[in-house]
């Protein structure tokens, strides 16, 4: 008898059967989704009962029930249809069912069961033969976790069980499932059969197909991805499919191809105006200057008309054009050498690979009688591919007219079809040709003009065409000059400023070309009301000329005695002592008796300098321990050096990487030849060099804390002011030593100072111009040199006037770097803006927490007039005073600026500027000569001026009087504070 079928049905209607699927499961059968009859078979017929009800969505719920609990020996089978295995190797069978516990049914003990059995049978196809239970393999006995539970009120709560069983590996194309009841009260609510897969996915720009995991759950299936459209493999993209259908361990990836960038997991073409030149994880970039891309997906931007890209230019570089021609060609000639000089082109075309070619033409008297003459002459260093704006010519005939065409070139000159422009200079070597004029005299001067006259040259074979008079303001240091031409040996130069000193020089021109310039003569225009100064001017000029002439005579004598040849190119073989002597005789070194620096470049053979100034170390004494950085020529390592006394000391070892050319080896060892000449506690000490074996090495003392700039950045705010001043004192002392030795560093900056474990700072990075080549801060200037703009004095930027005074400027910047713990000078201002701001009188403000005294010293170092800057001896003694008297470091700049009535907003010019700089800074430069003429030439005297004084010296406009007076008041305030605090350097 079947127990309670009606009873089950009423209960099943309350169950909501969730129909779900997960994306990593492929369902082979789901009874909840079969809409029509299931068609499962039952044996015997009266065993399992198939009941189909409708759920709330009007979809059928197929259930199978059996409840023959009263009768013994039950053996009721329910068999599914044939189920295709598809790609499955292992299948999962999920059963949902209810099961009544036997206790809840009266009078059934002995016959009632609480389990049923699950079987399967693999077959390659469906078959219609009779069901044979013996062919089936048992999967498991299924028991209920939950069953009917008796409740107090007699109601029963239906509990749904879910059981999942795995079957596999499967080998045939399909299988049957069978359920055996042996006397339980069961309702089978749903049967889901599925297998697991790792689903199709996109990862790292690669697609991975649906993948079936292995049966063995411990091994993964390795799947190689295929790059999506417009992407290409970087490292083979791979994923591993886990047993549960999850993708694991992504390896490798694809990257977007040239012209495409990754956006939200796909590769999208670059927009017009953008390009991508390399496949990779980079975005499309905007076209570099002077290039464009019209279409989408550009791999490179094309150059605008007139602009080009050289073969080796990277596509990221701006398109460039050929340079404009060189400017201001000039020559200087003596008996054996002709030196041509010119200024770099105003437009370098945007490139740094500027070179010059000099072509020579020798011209006869008539027109069109020119022929090329390179082969006749000797050019030093060479006629083509010159990197400096100068060349020396020797071996020329003494009676000839040479025309030199100087062309500027860069890496794209060959690409342009425009005719090239050249600078032309004509030189006559005719000894009877143009010769020097006699003394240039001032006849008279007025506030705006000066009249000059001179003696005609005595012997000229060709008639004099005219004279060129070149002149410029003395203060301007020949940044630019004017010239005027005259046929007579006299001229009135007009348009000059009153009470201003000018420099004049005259040269003669004949058909054979120009003569050399005469010596320089200094004359002054008269002030508006007096011309007192003119006489003094003449006296001065005569003295200058006399002294100049005498010096010239000595130099010329030395020149003939010592070399007898072209002095600026031919280096005799001399020892360092010879060189020192010669340098002293030439007035190039400061004092006799003091050891002076010898430039290794003055050695014909640079290895001689290395031998003379460095010790060769046997490499077996060196132990390299680790790489600490990268230098220009190779790695920088730390290690140990065994000294002859068997002691081991810590050293830094700079190596020259293999594959160098001779020039690199020479440049590399040049630093050692310089360093080896120094012996000072604040200069990095050279231990020696290895030149006789590979790799070539320079061994120096080890500085535990590395370079000062990064050291300070890492220890922001960690030191007392006295400690910082101590560091600055050390650097100043090192610099004093260098300047006493006659060595100009040119690249003094915190990055070139090294710090040891005792916070001792030592100056490093030697090598003159080469230092600047290596320095990443160094930028090209319009004069063609490479200069670290932010650290360099204006005169060194403008015309490469490097000196210990320009080192003092850099020292001021180092002070600022130290007091700001490694801040970048002038922050993110561009180099160009830095140059302009300095020119306008702007100076770096005091860093936060900087004592007034130190900022004042910085400002002192940044005076425009280089002779007004402190010498390193002054700097060291000033810092010593501060260290001895630490209370002098207490007032901070911000304290001063926050004084109640402080006109802080007006204090935007520094204390230690000259009167000229001060007037420049308040835009009253036109009155410089008025101040000077009236004797107001120090800031102290200016600070005492009254409004009457200002009027009396000739400032007539009321607005100008007002501006000057209010600036004087600020000046008075500053001087007052300075005196109160006693911060005089
Ligand atoms: O800033 P740093 O640590 O200090 O990194 C650079 C790197 O080598 C490349 O120049 C460090 N370095 C250079 N010379 C020395 C030295 N004598 N002692 C210790 N570190 C040095 C420098």
Q: Which has the minimum average pLDDT: 185-194, 352-361, 570-579, 838-847?
A: 570-579
Q: What percent of the chain has pLDDT over 70?
A: 81
Judge whether residue 435 has pLDDT over 70: no
Atom in ligand 1 nearest the alpha carbon of residue 711: 1
Q: Identify which of 421, 435, 423 has the alpha carbon closest to the alpha carbon of residue 513.
A: 435
169: pLDDT strictly greater than 60: yes
Q: Which of 222-231, 328-337, 348-357 is the least confident region?
A: 328-337
637 Cβ below 6 A of ligand 1: no
CA-nearest residue for atom 12, ligand 1, is 706
User: At residue 712, what are phi and psi to the nearest 5 degrees?
Assistant: -70, -40
Burial code (b: 16+ CB inside 10 Å, e: under 16) for 667-684 equals bbbbbbbbbbbbebebbb
- In order of 389, 457, 618, 625, 656, the CA distances from 693 in angstroms are 38, 62, 9, 19, 11
Per-residue confidence (pLDDT) for residue 781, from 0 to 100:
57
Q: How far apart are CA 213 and CA 626, in angstroms?
A: 48
Residue 802, both tokens: 């490097």
How much distance in Å is there from the Cα of 654 to the middle of ligand 1?
9
Q: Is residue 707 lining ligand 1, measured as CB closer than 6 Å?
A: yes
Residue 541: is its pLDDT beyond 50?
A: no
473: pLDDT strictly greater than 50: yes
Residue range 149-162, pLDDT digits in tens: 444 444 556 678 89
Residue nearest to atom 7 of ligand 1 (CA): 629
Q: Which residue has the higher pLDDT, 812 or 110?
A: 812
Distance between Cα 748 and ligand 1 center (Å): 16
Best residue among 709, 751, 754 to mutate for probing ligand 1's pocket (most ligand atoms within 8 Å of CB) is: 754
Kindly give, in sequence order, each residue whose CB lies less than 8 Å from that of residue 420, ignoring residues fewer than 6 positions away.
Answer: 322, 325, 407, 413
Q: What is the per-residue pLDDT for 970?
A: 67
What per-residue confidence (pLDDT) applies to 215? 82
Residue 765 CA to ligand 1 center (angstroms) comes to 10
Mutational pocket test of ligand 1: of 622, 706, 765, 775, the residue with most ligand atoms within 8 Å of the beta carbon: 706
| Per-residue pLDDT at 237 exceeds 50 | yes
The span from the CA of 263 to the CA of 254, in Å, is: 13
Strand partners, 616: 689
If pLDDT is split at 50, 70 and 90, which confidence band does 872 have? very high
How many angstroms separate the CA atoms of 471 and 500, rounded? 12
The secondary structure of 403-442, three-state, reads: EEEEEEECCCHHHCCCCCCEEEEEEECCCCCCCCCCCEEE
* Distance linking the first and last C-alpha atoms of the chain: 120
pLDDT at 21 over 80: no
Q: Is 628 in the pocket of ligand 1 (CB under 6 A)?
A: yes
Alpha carbon 911 to chain centroid distance? 35
Banded model confidence at residue 242, pLDDT cuts 50, 70, 90: confident
Q: Is the CB of 710 under 6 A from ligand 1?
A: yes
Minimum CA distance residue for ligand 1 atom 21: 706
Rounded-to-integer distance, Cα 469 and Cα 794, Å: 28
pLDDT band at 731 (very low <50, low <70, confident <90, very high): very high
Q: Which range, 168-172, 280-284, 703-707, is most confident?
A: 703-707
Distance of CA 596 from the midpoint of ligand 1 (Å): 27
Q: What average pLDDT score do residues 490-506 get? A: 88
What is the 3-class SS of 95-119, one letter each residue?
EEEEECCHHHCCCCCCCCECEEEEE
Nearest CA to ligand 1 atom 6: 629
Residue pair 256/204 in contact (Cβ under 8 Å)? The answer is: no
Q: 657 burial class (0-12, 13-18, 19+ CB within 10 angstroms)?
A: middle
Q: Which two tokens stand for residue 218?
A: 């411990």
Q: How confident is the model at residue 2 (pLDDT cuts 50, 70, 90)?
A: very low
Highest mean pLDDT among 36-40, 87-91, 708-712: 708-712
Mean pLDDT calculated for residue range 274-284: 90
pTM: 0.41
**CA–CA distance, 431 with 242 (Å, rounded to integer):** 96
For ligand 1, atom 11, the nearest C-alpha belongs to 706
Residue 549 predicted with pLDDT over 70: no
Check residue 516 and report its DSSP letter: P
The yes-or-no answer on residue 395 being catalytic is no
706 CB near ligand 1 (under 6 Å): yes
With 50 as the cut, is the pLDDT of residue 340 above it?
A: yes
Residue nearest to atom 1 of ligand 1 (CA): 707
Let me know: does 925 contact 954? Beta carbons within 8 Å.
no
Ligand 1 neighbourhood includes 629 CB (under 6 angstroms) = yes
Range 711-722 average pLDDT? 90
Quick: pLDDT tens for 673-684.
999 999 999 999
Residue 21, CA distances (Å) to 33, 61, 290 in order? 11, 17, 58
Evaluate if residue 582 carries a pLDDT over 50.
no
The predicted model gives 115-137 an average pLDDT of 91
For residue 626, what are the CA distances in angstroms to 633, 651, 747? 17, 11, 28
pLDDT at residue 593 tops 50: no
Average pLDDT over residues 611-633: 90
Atom index in ligand 1 nearest the CA of residue 764 equals 14
**Cβ(700) to ligand 1 under 6 A?**
yes
Quick one: what percent of the chain has pLDDT higher than 90? 40
Cα of 651 vs centre of ligand 1, distance in Å, is 11
**pLDDT on residue 35:** 82
> Are the C-beta atoms of residues 909 and 916 closer than 8 Å to each other?
no
Residue with structure tokens 């069901």? 131
For residue 906, what pLDDT is reported?
A: 36
From the CA of 707, how far away is ligand 1's center (Å)? 6
pLDDT for 940 equals 77
127-139: string of b/e by CB count within 10 Å (b at 16+)? eeeeeeeeebeeb
Q: Are 105 and 43 in contact (CB under 8 A)?
A: no
CA-proximal residue: ligand 1, atom 5 (nearest):
629
Residue with more model confidence, 201 or 482: 201
User: How high is the mean pLDDT of the chain?
Assistant: 81
With a 6 Å cutoff on the Cβ, whether 683 touches ligand 1 is no
- Answer with the residue of higher pLDDT: 530 or 201: 201
Q: What's the pLDDT band for 585 if we cut at 50, 70, 90?
A: very low
DSSP letters for 457-509: PS--SSPEEEEEEEEEEGGGTTSS-EEEEESSSEEEE-SPPTT-EEEEEEEEE
| 368 vs 945: which has the higher pLDDT | 945
**Which amino acid residue places its CA nearest to atom 19 of ligand 1?**
703
Distance (Å) from CA 226 to ligand 1 centroid: 47
Q: What is the pLDDT of residue 374?
A: 76
Cα–ligand 1 centroid distance for 754 (angstroms)? 7
| Ligand 1 atom with minimal separation from the 701 CA | 17
* Nearest residue to 178 via CA among 281, 40, 55, 289: 40
> What dihedral angle (degrees, nearest 10) is formed by the CA atoms of 960, 962, 965, 970?
-110
| Span 752-767, average pLDDT | 93
Q: Which of 313, 747, 775, 917 is catalytic?
A: 747
The per-residue pLDDT for 216 is 79
25 lines ligand 1 (CB under 6 A): no
pLDDT of residue 869: 92
CB 157 within 8 A of CB 148: yes
Confidence of residue 974 (pLDDT cuts 50, 70, 90): low
Q: What is the pLDDT of residue 748?
A: 96
Q: Which atom of ligand 1 is nearest to the CA of 702?
A: 18
Residue 828 CA to ligand 1 centre (angstroms): 25
- Residue listed under structure tokens 């009153």: 498
Distance 628 CA to ligand 1 centre (A): 7
The more confident residue out of 453 and 888 is 453
- How does residue 405 score in pLDDT terms, banded at 50, 70 and 90? very high
């Amino acid at each position: 008898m079947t127990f309670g079928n009606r009873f089950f049905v009423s209960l099943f209607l309350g169950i909501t059967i969730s129909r779900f699927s997960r994306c990593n499961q492929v369902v082979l059968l789901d009874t909840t989704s079969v809409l029509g009859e299931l068609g499962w078979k039952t044996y015997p017929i009266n065993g399992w009962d198939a009941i189909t009800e409708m759920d709330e969505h009007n979809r059928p719920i197929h259930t199978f029930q059996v409840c023959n609990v009263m009768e013994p020996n039950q053996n009721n089978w329910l068999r599914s249809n044939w189920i295709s295995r598809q790609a499955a190797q292992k299948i999962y069978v999920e059963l949902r069912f209810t099961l009544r516990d036997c206790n809840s049914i009266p009078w059934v003990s002995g016959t009632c069961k609480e389990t049923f059995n699950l079987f399967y049978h693999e077959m390659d196809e469906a078959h219609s033969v009779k069901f044979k239970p013996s062919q089936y393999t048992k999967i498991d006995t299924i028991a209920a976790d939950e069953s009917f539970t008796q409740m107090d009120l007699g109601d029963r709560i239906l509990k749904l069980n879910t059981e999942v069983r795995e079957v596999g590996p499967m080998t045939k194309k399909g299988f049957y499932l069978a359920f055996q009841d042996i006397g339980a009260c069961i309702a089978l609510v749903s049967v889901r059969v599925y297998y697991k897969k790792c689903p199709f996915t996109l990862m790292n720009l690669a697609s991975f197909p649906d993948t079936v995991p292995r049966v063995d759950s411990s091994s993964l299936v390795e799947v190689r991805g295929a790059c999506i459209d417009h992407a290409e493999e970087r490292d083979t993209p791979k994923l591993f499919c886990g047993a549960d259908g999850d993708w694991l361990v992504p390896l490798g990836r694809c990257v977007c191809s040239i012209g495409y960038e990754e956006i939200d997991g796909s590769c999208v073409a670059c927009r017009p105006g953008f390009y991508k030149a390399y496949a990779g994880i980079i975005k499309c970039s905007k076209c570099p200057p002077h290039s464009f891309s019209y279409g989408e997906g550009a791999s490179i931007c094309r150059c605008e008309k007139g602009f080009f890209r050289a073969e080796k230019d990277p596509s990221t570089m701006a398109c460039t054009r050929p340079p404009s021609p060189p400017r201001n060609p000039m020559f200087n000639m003596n008996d054996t050498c002709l030196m041509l000089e010119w200024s770099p082109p105003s437009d370098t075309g945007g490139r740094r690979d500027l070179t010059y070619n000099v072509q020579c033409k020798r011209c006869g008297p008539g027109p069109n009688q020119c022929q090329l003459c390179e082969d006749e002459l000797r050019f030093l260093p060479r006629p083509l591919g010159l990197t400096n704006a100068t060349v020396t010519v020797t071996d020329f005939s003494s009676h000839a007219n040479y025309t030199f065409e100087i062309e500027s070139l860069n890496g794209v000159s060959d690409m342009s079809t425009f005719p090239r422009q050249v600078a032309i200079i004509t030189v006559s070597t005719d000894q009877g040709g143009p010769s020097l004029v006699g003394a240039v005299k001032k006849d008279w001067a007025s506030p705006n003009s000066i009249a000059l006259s001179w003696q005609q040259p005595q012997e000229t074979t060709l008639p004099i065409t005219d004279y060129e008079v070149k002149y410029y303001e003395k203060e301007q240091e020949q940044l630019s000059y004017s010239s005027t031409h005259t046929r007579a040996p006299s001229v009135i130069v007009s348009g000059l400023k009153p009470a201003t000193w000018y420099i004049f020089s005259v040269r003669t021109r004949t058909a054979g070309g120009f003569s050399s310039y005469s010596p320089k003569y200094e004359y002054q225009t008269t002030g508006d009301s007096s011309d007192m100064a003119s006489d003094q001017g003449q006296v001065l000029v005569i003295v200058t000329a006399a002294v100049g002439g005498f010096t010239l005579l000595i130099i010329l004598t030395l020149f003939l005695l010592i070399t007898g040849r072209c002095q600026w190119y031919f280096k005799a073989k001399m020892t360092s002592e010879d060189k020192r002597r010669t340098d002293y005789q030439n007035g190039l070194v400061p004092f006799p008796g003091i050891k002076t620096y010898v430039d290794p470049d003055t050695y014909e053979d640079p290895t001689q300098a290395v031998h003379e100034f460095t010790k060769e170390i046997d490499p077996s004494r060196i132990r390299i321990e680790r790489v600490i950085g990268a230098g220009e020529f190779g790695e920088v390592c730390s290690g140990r050096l065994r000294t002859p006394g068997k002691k081991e000391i810590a050293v830094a070892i700079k190596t020259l990487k293999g594959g160098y050319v001779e020039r690199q080896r020479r440049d590399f060892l040049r630093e050692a030849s310089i360093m080896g000449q120094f012996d000072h506690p604040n200069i990095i000490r050279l231990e020696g060099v290895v030149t006789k074996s590979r790799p070539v090495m320079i061994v120096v003392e080890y500085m535990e804390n590395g370079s000062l700039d990064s050291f300070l950045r890492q220890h922001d705010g960690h030191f007392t002011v006295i400690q910082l001043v101590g560091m600055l004192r050390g650097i100043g002392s090192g610099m004093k030593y260098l300047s006493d030795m006659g060595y100009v560093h040119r690249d003094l900056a915190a990055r070139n100072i090294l710090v040891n474990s005792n916070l001792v700072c030592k100056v490093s990075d030697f090598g003159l111009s080469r230092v600047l080549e290596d320095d990443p801060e160094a930028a090209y200037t319009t004069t063609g040199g490479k200069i670290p703009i932010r650290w360099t004095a204006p005169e060194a930027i403008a015309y490469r006037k490097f000196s210990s005074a320009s080192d003092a400027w850099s020292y001021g910047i180092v002070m600022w770097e130290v007091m700001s713990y490694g801040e970048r000078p002038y922050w993110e201002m561009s180099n160009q803006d830095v140059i302009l701001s300095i020119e306008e009188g702007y100076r770096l403000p005091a860093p936060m927490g900087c004592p007034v005294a130190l900022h004042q010293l910085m400002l002192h170092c940044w005076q425009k007039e280089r002779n007004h800057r402190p010498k390193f001896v002054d700097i060291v003694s000033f810092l010593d005073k501060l260290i001895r008297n630490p209370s002098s470091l207490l007032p901070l700049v911000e304290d001063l600026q926050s004084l109640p009535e402080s006109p802080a907003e007006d204090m935007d010019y520094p204390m230690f500027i000259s009167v000229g700089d001060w007037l420049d800074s308040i835009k009253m430069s036109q009155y410089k000569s008025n101040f000077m003429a009236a004797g107001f030439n120090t800031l102290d005297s200016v600070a005492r001026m009254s409004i009457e004084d200002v009027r009396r010296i000739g400032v007539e406009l009321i607005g100008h009087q007002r501006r000057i007076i209010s600036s004087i008041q600020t000046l008075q305030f500053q001087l007052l504070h300075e005196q109160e605090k006693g911060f005089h350097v």
